Structure 1
Amino acid sequence: MISVNPPALPVVLACSGNDPSGGAGICADITTISSLGCHPAPVITALTVQDTHNVRALLPVESKQLLDQATAILEDMTVAAFKIGVIGSVENAVALHRLLRTHPTVPVVLDPVLAAGGGTELASATLLDAIRTLLLPLTTILTPNSVEARRLAPEGDSLNACAMALLERGCQYVLITGGHEPTETITNSLYGNHRLLESFHWPRLPNSYHGSGCTLAAAIAALLAQGYTSHSGPPISAIVRAQDYTWRTLEAAYRVGGGQWIPNRLFWANPSQEPEGFNPRP
């Protein structure tokens, strides 16, 4: 029997760019957040011209438009988590700083998208500085890949040193993903409290994927919104489950263009692909 008044789903406010290929950005956020049992509230930070090969153009929205979108949602809904992807401009970083400062109890997952998979730069030197000074101090979980970690913390002479520098800049936790490293197995490393907390090892899959970082960050945000965290320790359960979900989306990925493969964020909806023991609803 269907309840007349079913409980509301947790709301995740996702600030990202629009990717017309549907592989990354706000489309990846919406599908991931919905797949994991939350309600996505998408806020567009930029329009892009891109396909599965590369980004051809980045067109940031005006900072007032970004704030107006987010404010309308926050005045109407209780937001349980923020997810931030492509920022687009220094002005948008300033706007996000203002937004996050007014909601200090809401967890923030920041995926610092600095370049497209095809190599196009998506963050200038001034935007990098703005991310370091304005957004990292307000970030709950930062999810850079190893290339992004080195760019955000160039003073570090190793990934461990980069992670320590990012924690010093104010992030509560840093999850550095290892897909770009020349290793047979992918190692993702979680840092917090001035030390390495845990390393996670995942089998390397054979293809290149469009939107894997967006998927991971959005999954963490959704699971934080669902309550997968501890008041006495780091949100290990959300991070572990989000990595498992992301790996499964890549394992079930498909190719619709001539470039990178697209993670199948609704893999569980196909009975022929549904893995044993995976429950998409936390």
Structure 2
Amino acid sequence: MTHTQAPCPPLVLVFAASDPSSGAGIQADLLTLASLGCHPLTALTAVTVQDTVGVQSVQALAAETVEQQARTILEDMPVAAFKIGVLGSVENVLAVAEIVSDYPDIPLILDPVLASGRGDDLSGEEIISAMREMLLPQTTLITPNAPEARRLAENDEDDSEPAIDVCAQRLIEMGAQYVLITGTHENTPQVINTLYGPDGVIRRDQWERLPGSYHGSGCTLASAITGCIAGGASIEDAVRDAQDYTWQTLKNGFRAGMGQFIPDRFFWARNDDDDTPDDKADEPK
């Protein structure tokens, strides 16, 4: 009896920090990518001590260790997309920037995690500066929430908070091909996410604002987009489908601990209901 080899699922290499609660971080990326039919590969950048309430500590791994993990995998397997989360140190930013520069044709999705849901600082000014200079010019899509977009795009001339559209324009001028700014942290009745390209707004989606707060919603969205792109979707289709998937994970989220809810990345394995939000997309004319 001959064994026929199964086709290889899309392979995605994730650079991110661990989260023992699996709400966020590299564990959230693994769960999301696996749920969407990808095979995730990992280069661990830092070890965190955290739970659903907040982050207690972040210990960055040596840049050499991060590089060895990634190079070993990249020499062995054909990667369809890169996803970058918390890098933990300036040295790690530089190491990852150098690695991905050797693979310019592989899409790179950057989730600039600057703080935890509680507000714990995860990326200082030196790390942010290195990301601007070294990673943004190589980024296919960056997925900041509104506060992250403002922090990444701020300059010395700002007397007041720059508008979201201005932030997106600046991030594109810094080298990102596309920018998806999420409205989870804005004080609006609905969550409004806006995808920008070189010519301005590509699509704007509105989502029902769910009660409670969620641990790892940004990681889930960025990984879902990466998984869709790895599977062959265009940027716009990947952003649309990943938002729908992420909304479902939040809608079905569970409170496992004393803090934030955890998105259920495998809601489809436990739930037969077809929960779809009304009036979710408002595309620009």
**Considering the TM-score relative to the shorter chain, is it more than 0.5?**
yes
Amino acid aligned to 1:161:
V
Aligned twin of 1:64: 64
Q: Cα RMSD (Å) of the superposition?
A: 1.4
User: Counterpart of 1:132 in structure 2: which amino acid?
Assistant: R
How many Å apart are 1:275 and its aligned residue? 2.3
Over residues 50-78 of structure 1, what are the superposed CA-to-partner deviations in whole Å (9 max), with x where a residue is unaligned?
A: 01011110100000000000011101000
TM-score of the pair, normalised by structure 2: 0.92
Q: Take 1:245 and 1:177, find their aligned partners in 2: how far apart are those partners?
A: 15
* 1:158 pairs with 2:158: no
Which residue of 178, 187, 211 maps to 2:183? 178
Distance, in Å, in 1 between the alignment partners of 2:273 and 2:77 is 33
8 Å Cα contact 2:248-2:275 kept in structure 1:
no
- After TM superposition, list the pairs within 5 Å mapping 1:1-282 onto structure 2: 4-155=4-155, 157-229=162-234, 235-270=235-270, 272-275=271-274
Taking the aligned partners of 1:109 and 1:88, their CA distance within structure 2 comes to: 17
Separation of aligned partners in 1, 2:250 and 2:233: 22
Distance (Å, rounded) in 2 between the aligned partners of 1:217 and 1:48: 20
Supply the distance in 1 between the matched residues of 2:223 and 2:163 (Cα, whole angstroms): 27
What TM-score do the two structures reach when normalised by structure 1? 0.93
Query: What runs of 5+ residues in structure 2 fail to find an aligned partner?
Result: 156-160, 277-285
CA deviation profile, 1:129-167 (whole Å, cap 9, x unmatched): 001000000000000000100000113621110100000
Maintained 8 Å contact 2:254/2:261: yes
Q: Are the structure 2 counterparts of residues 164 and 47 from structure 1 closer, same or farther at C-alpha, using a change threshold of 3 Å?
A: same
CA contact (8 A) 1:167 1:194 kept: no
CA displacement at 1:274 relative to structure 2: 4.5
CA distance in 2, matches of 1:77, 1:100: 15
1:195 to partner: Cα distance: 1.0
- What SS does the aligned partner of 2:194 have? strand
CA distance in 2, matches of 1:226, 1:256: 31
SS of the counterpart of 1:75?
Answer: helix
Distance in 2 separating the partners of 1:33 and 1:198: 24
The amino acid that maps onto 1:28 is A
Percent identity, aligned pairs only? 49
The range that moved more, 117-126 or 257-266, is 117-126
Letter matched to residue 4 of structure 1: T
Q: How far did residue 185 of structure 1 move? A: 0.5
Equivalent-residue separation in structure 2 for 1:22 and 1:157 (angstroms): 34
Residue 142 of structure 2 aligns with an amino acid whose one-letter code is: L
Q: CA deviation at 1:198?
A: 1.4
How far apart are 1:174 and its partner, in Å?
A: 0.1
Q: Indicate the SS of the match to 1:262.
A: coil
- Aligned pair count reads 270
Distance 1:4 1:276 in 2: 38
Tell me the secondary structure at the aligned position of residue 263 of structure 1. Answer: coil
In the TM superposition, what is the alpha-carbon distance from 1:182 to its structure 2 partner? 0.2
Point out where structure 1 has 5 or more consecutive residues left out of the alignment: 230-234, 278-282
Distance 1:116 1:179 in 2: 13
SS in 1 for 2:29: helix
Distance in 2, matches of 1:57 and 1:119, equals 13
Q: What is the one-letter code of the residue matched to 2:66?
A: L
**Structure 1 residue 4, shift from structure 2 partner:** 2.6
Question: Aligned partners of 1:96 and 1:128: how far apart in 2?
Answer: 14
1:203-254 deviations in Å (ceiling 9; x for gaps)? 100010000000000001111000002xxxxx11111000000000000000
User: Shift in Å at residue 25 of structure 1?
Assistant: 0.4
Q: Secondary structure at the match of 2:171?
A: helix
